[in-house]
Structure 1
């Protein structure tokens, strides 16, 4: 078989020249296969490379060059081809140019200009995975699984994930308009947000009541485990914790090692997570260490549809190890591992290379974590069936002292966050049952 590249521009010839020798050499004499059962696939196999598809690629390339309504340079066409090659694999793999590669590095360092939103794609639609705490997106009321239909008036139906991220990021104090379609609604909602420098603190903590702690992890960064350990120590200084709520709602994930570290704070033995991929260096396993600051504290873990990736690793490990009660709604279901691979030209690849599995071998990918106790998001409202006479209605009653302001604020918060209120009630119930058994 002869392949002609006459008339193809020089960059295209160089690109195709890297494929043709492989194709021609592999056609008559396939590469030796790995021994059966060896499982070794570290070296890529080029046997049976589709020669007709390569020829079709060259033909499509040249027809675009000659007939497209506007002139397109070779580099643009080749980069678009590589983008398409990666974007069609899964929603998280992507080709990154220099600007996109730098932007991704900035976001992993925890500081960038934007609206504070984690996005992904599902069924070809751009979707909110979760808004990050204390950012323009969370303050405006964007929710997990909102579908973004337009950014600054540009429809997103033909937009790649990386293009959408690039459009939403920008200089602080600049405005961004997005249109979202929410489940159960017929028409889009319009939001105008002002970009900020997003510096997300990943850990917050407080005492809901004496002895009952609250630990919020909004995402997993390099210092998240250290910050969470310090928070546990501070909460336990006045009195030992009788219960703890670990809030992973709307946590989009982050650094794998940080997720392992958070799970290890509550486990003193056993597997936390393992990964499986085609290459040997993508097969990893992480187990708990014997030393842990909170191995015996009663634990409730809150999750929802915005809990993804590393957050699901923590919830899955604690659930499989029966270390705590998982409460809330089904998690997002992103159980894949992406590696960032720099290229020699200053650009890079974000490539899915493995899948996460919980200690019991459950795949998180497209499955998510199902809570042990289903509690939907809502607000607690107390309805009185009939008017009753109370002490405050009697003439001349004595007035009570005003409750401290922080206690009033906590009561209001629990009233507005039904899932958090139910988690606290469950912790109290677990302690009552435990005391009765003694």
Structure 2
């Protein structure tokens, strides 16, 4: 069940404590760590922890007589540790000996109480700062039963993947000489994690098969990404993880969208799938953006006492725009704080699958506070959190208002699947939802029928497609099949546009027209009408599913370069298609905003 070790992203309470100092790990350190753990853990007692410590030591001994001797050993945590060292026969144990012992002990407490050696602790701490080491792609399985090949559906800007030229919609066929069709999504992810040094990925891009040399590096990853779902005021926002800057990032995104849409934001789809959680204060700031004031989370300690109430402080950047939240079984912890609170308030309508079900708060203890020159860490459950209504997400998660299946996830994993998961009862409170949107959306959804026809592009993420269609219905925008992915504008190293389509097929002829436009207000008043003005037009043949357009030495490059800020232009794509089987011309159009950052 080591999988649960990586549902780390939770709420962090940093303990800065002073104890007797030592230079390397030893039984004195073990005694200090376990004493603090027994005193601070949400449900742990000293006698229980001593039993777990002893059982861990016994399981690590191979000699039966030594195991029996240790079984009869009593006393302090330190005494048990010293007996274990003596019976192991190791005269001068190194840090790795104690790391293994502590890991084994803490793994038996609950799914989220863990010991981290120095590399793991650094990785965990970096992730909360938005710093990562890896390749920088997200992908979905295209084979049966969650197997490969794997299609890339996001490449983090500035990541090693972006630098090496991996692109959205690339189909990963091989890693080194290993066919990805033989791997599950989890196995492929682990292969990348375990890879040392350079490795090759064989990808299919349209009609081309490419071998791309890759390696993992450290890079920064903004926690919030977004694009436009429709020019009439719909936006998609993805929060990857709740880091220390997520609240500020999201507030900036919302304000930018309001500016683009002239304060007429008709709907937001907030995607919290695969968001394992993160920092509690960030989650509170995110929820605060969508409501005015009121309690968001109640925290209870090990004595079942209310220890803290976290409230919205009236930031309320957007309190009226329709809000859909998309979740799955990988939406955990801080994601469940945001989802549960906004659902209780009636501010959001939740779609997708039930969330992970982690309703506890973690403490993060950097061990360098007590053991100088040793930079490991311990996380442990300090308290439980409850929704504004008094319900708990522990065990059962947040139940969507409308379930949408995801065929990519065939065997979802939840907190309750762990044998040591805590079970909590709700603490009911009188709470009346101050917002009416959730009920309005329920009424609309109850009479809503999803389309029967979806394009290949839409089927690649059917949850997102169906959630988008529902948001369009709520915003009174027609639902239409889409054959295009969101466009990405790259100002560096050369000005180019990249987007994907599923319209190409062998023996077909596709001619595309690209029109770039800017919006100009015809007057100085806020109510002055807005007119679209053509900036640049060009034509080209489509020879694959990837559309890449060079915009160097065009009016678009000039406009972006002179803008000197984050901005957008309108893109209108018209594709005329005919095939050998169907010689009649079919016309497909797509209109959206293209975001750019000229810096």
TM range (shorter): 0.5 to 0.7
- Please state whether the residue corresponding to 2:316 is helix, strand or coil: coil
Q: CA deviation at 1:256?
A: 1.0
Number of the residue aligned with 2:240: 218
Number of the residue aligned with 2:123: 103
Number of the residue aligned with 2:155: 134
Say whether residues 1:112 and 2:119 are aligned partners. Answer: no
Cα distance between partner residues in 2 of 1:364 and 1:17? 34
Number of the residue aligned with 1:421: 465
Q: Using a 3 Å threshold, how does the CA distance of structure 1 residues 383 and 73 change in structure 2: closer, same or farther?
A: closer
Answer whether contact 1:221 1:255 (CA < 8 A) is retained: yes
Cα distance between partner residues in 1 of 2:74 and 2:383? 28
Number of the residue aligned with 2:293: 269
Question: What TM-score do you get using the length of structure 2 for normalisation?
Answer: 0.47
Number of the residue aligned with 1:231: 253
Q: CA deviation at 1:147?
A: 4.9
Q: CA deviation at 1:336?
A: 2.4
Q: Using a 3 Å threshold, how does the CA distance of structure 1 residues 280 and 428 change in structure 2: closer, same or farther?
A: same
Say whether residues 1:200 and 2:253 are aligned partners. Answer: no
Number of the residue aligned with 2:100: 80
- Please state whether the residue corresponding to 1:236 is helix, strand or coil: helix
Of 267, 284, 295, which residue of structure 2 is paired with 1:260? 284
Higher strand share: 2
Identify the range of structure 1 (421-430 vs 354-363) with the bigger mean alpha-carbon deviation: 421-430
Superposed counterparts of 1:25-174, under 5 Å: 52-54=73-75, 59-65=83-89, 73=93, 76-115=96-135, 134=155, 147-148=186-187, 168=193, 174=198
Q: Using a 3 Å threshold, how does the CA distance of structure 1 residues 176 and 197 change in structure 2: closer, same or farther?
A: farther
Answer whether contact 1:114 1:170 (CA < 8 A) is retained: no
Cα distance between partner residues in 2 of 1:132 and 1:220? 21
Number of the residue aligned with 2:382: 353
Number of the residue aligned with 1:322: 346
Cα distance between partner residues in 1 of 2:356 and 2:385? 14
Identify the range of structure 1 (90-99 vs 51-60) with the bigger mean alpha-carbon deviation: 51-60
Number of positions where the alignment pairs a residue of Structure 1 with one of Structure 2: 330
Say whether residues 1:245 and 2:266 are aligned partners. Answer: no
Q: CA deviation at 1:377?
A: 2.6
Q: Deviations over 1:212-234 (max 9, x none)?
A: 12222111112211111121122
Q: Deviations over 1:130-171 (max 9, x none)?
A: x995367998699xx95559956xxxxxxxxxxxxxx93787
Say whether residues 1:362 and 2:391 are aligned partners. Answer: yes
Of 397, 400, 405, which residue of structure 2 is paired with 1:376? 405
Cα distance between partner residues in 2 of 1:326 and 1:419? 12
Answer whether contact 1:259 1:313 (CA < 8 A) is retained: yes
Q: Deviations over 1:192-245 (max 9, x none)?
A: 984243422211222211111222211111221111112112212233111111
Answer whether contact 1:205 1:215 (CA < 8 A) is retained: yes
Question: What are structure 2's unaligned runs of at least 5 residues?
Answer: 1-24, 52-71, 139-151, 174-179, 202-212, 409-449, 478-599
Cα distance between partner residues in 2 of 1:233 and 1:204? 14
Answer whether contact 2:73 2:83 (CA < 8 A) is retained: no
Q: Using a 3 Å threshold, how does the CA distance of structure 1 residues 305 and 134 change in structure 2: closer, same or farther?
A: farther
Question: What are structure 1's unaligned runs of at least 5 residues?
Answer: 1-10, 23-39, 119-130, 153-166, 178-191, 385-410, 434-438
Question: What TM-score do you get using the length of structure 1 for normalisation?
Answer: 0.62
Identify the range of structure 1 (418-427 vs 306-315) with the bigger mean alpha-carbon deviation: 418-427
Number of the residue aligned with 1:124: none
Cα distance between partner residues in 2 of 1:431 and 1:332? 29
Q: CA deviation at 1:381?
A: 8.7
Cα distance between partner residues in 2 of 1:225 and 1:18? 36
Q: Deviations over 1:86-141 (max 9, x none)?
A: 121123222233333333322222223225699xxxxxxxxxxxx99536799869
